[in-house]
Amino acid sequence: MLKNKNAGGWVLALVALALFGGLILRRLASDDVASPENQISAGMVMTGDQHAAALELSAAFETITAQYVPVVVTIEENGGGILVSSDGYILTTWQNLPMADSVRVTLHKGRRFSGWIAGSDPLTNLALIKISAKGLPYAKFGDSDRLRIGQWVMAIGQATPAVTAAIINAKGRSKVALPEVDDLIHLDAPRDRINPGGALVSLDGELVGFSTVIAPAGQAGSSGGLACPAKAIPANLARKVMQSLMKEGKVTRGYLGAMAQDLDPNLARALKLNSTVGALIVEVAANSPAAAAGLRRGDVVLQFANVPIANANEFENAVAAQAPNKNVQAVVWRDTIKVIYEVRLEARPNVTPDEPTRPLGHKPLNKIGLYVQNLPPEMLRLYNYGVAISYLDPHSPAARRLAAGDVIQEMNRKTIRGPRDFNVALQGLQAGEVALLLIRRGEKKFFSGVEVQE
């Protein structure tokens, strides 16, 4: 294992290398020809310790690359995945899955297998594939909660392979509930340099993240997407999802049926609260566990299942993290007093259609690169109207903003009640125009603009 004792030396070494490069460029730009006695060497800009630290960092990159190239596999010719067990379990992105039951997997050095889908979780864009094999190399999970801002990591993908060194500029939280932009690891590398389904590895050689193209709620993104920072699912979250998929083939989340928002100072004053801590309920679904328990609009949730609630995101995660058919207590603020309610949670409705309507091949079905269908009964109960996104072309603009399972309820202020409404609204848009979509994702609602393509 590599140690971090020379971290400071590595930084100095990198700065020194940058200075060294600048001196070289200035020398090449000069009209004078350098004589042997005045040619620049590393010793002129580095101490011996700094030069040794730089060589150690380079050796670390080389060693980790050699260790992880055999662990990264190719799914269906162009997708990526990571071997996570010696007996053939492979973690990949949900978007990499084919329509067929069998999955073509190519290992390092060209070994080919026909695998099958062991489970999937579209909300985290994760899936698990199994192949019949023994004695395979596999990734060692690290503790992503211990990652630090500014820490060096390596992103290793299946193409060529694709190897990128990057710095962590924001940390994710390991919530197995509903990942949003704050739940992911943010890298300083652009997304086009990081292969979805690849490994994010620490300099200790541990898997600390899983590169993804998950679309955070309301994220706009650029039209080209090349400048969008790369993101990765924290390893602790990926491991929790993987363990559920191995055991049950799915991830089960609790459902309450209450939509909430954050408090601001004015809302807190209006509700006679001393702080903005808590989640303000703005909507309670009919016939939901929240309605049955007596929760209502205007309640402020301060604690749920013995977990203090600071904001709406924490409330949503606290609900989703609970097992269905379980009684939990909710402490709410109502009319200037605290009230405790007993809530019996249900299983969160499946937010992805059971049979995604992905056509054969990769030809886009429409001008924004996504496929929709009528809401299944349990989604209709949850959302009342709209169309469900069953598949997105991973190369389309929509894939940078939306996710399978999102529900489209409006397009350019027109209500969408079924695929026919969706198609009529889309036909009225020309290439280069933007489709303004009202999206429901879980218990969140937001607008997203998607540029129409040819």
**CATH number, domain 254-347:** 2.30.42.10
Rg (CA), the chain: 25
Q: What pLDDT is attached to residue 93?
A: 85
The pLDDT, as a whole number, for residue 360 is 35
Per-residue pLDDT, 14: 47
Rounded CA separation 348/35 (Å): 74
Tokens of 263: 């408090």
The residue ranges of every structural domain in the chain are 7-68, 70-253, 254-347, 370-451
Q: Tell me the per-residue pLDDT of 216-272, one tens digit each, with 9 for 90 and over.
A: 443 433 333 344 567 888 898 899 899 999 998 888 888 898 988 899 999 999 999
Q: What is the pTM of this model?
A: 0.65
Q: Are strands 163-170 and 185-190 parallel, antiparallel or unpaired?
A: antiparallel
Instruction: Establish whether domains 70-253 and 370-451 are of one fold.
Output: no
User: Which of 65, 57, 64 lies closest to 12, judged by CA?
Assistant: 57
The type of residue at 187 is L
CATH for the stretch 370-451: 2.30.42.10
Check whether 355 has a pLDDT greater than 80.
no
Spatial neighbors of 187 by CB under 8 A, at least 6 apart, are 153, 155, 166, 167, 168, 169, 194, 200, 229, 230, 231, 232
pLDDT band at 448 (very low <50, low <70, confident <90, very high): confident
Residue pLDDT, tens place only, 359-378:
333 344 568 888 888 887 77
| pLDDT greater than 50 at residue 3 | no
Residues 446, 452, 454, CA angle at the centre, nearest 5°? 160
CATH of domain 70-253: 2.40.10.120
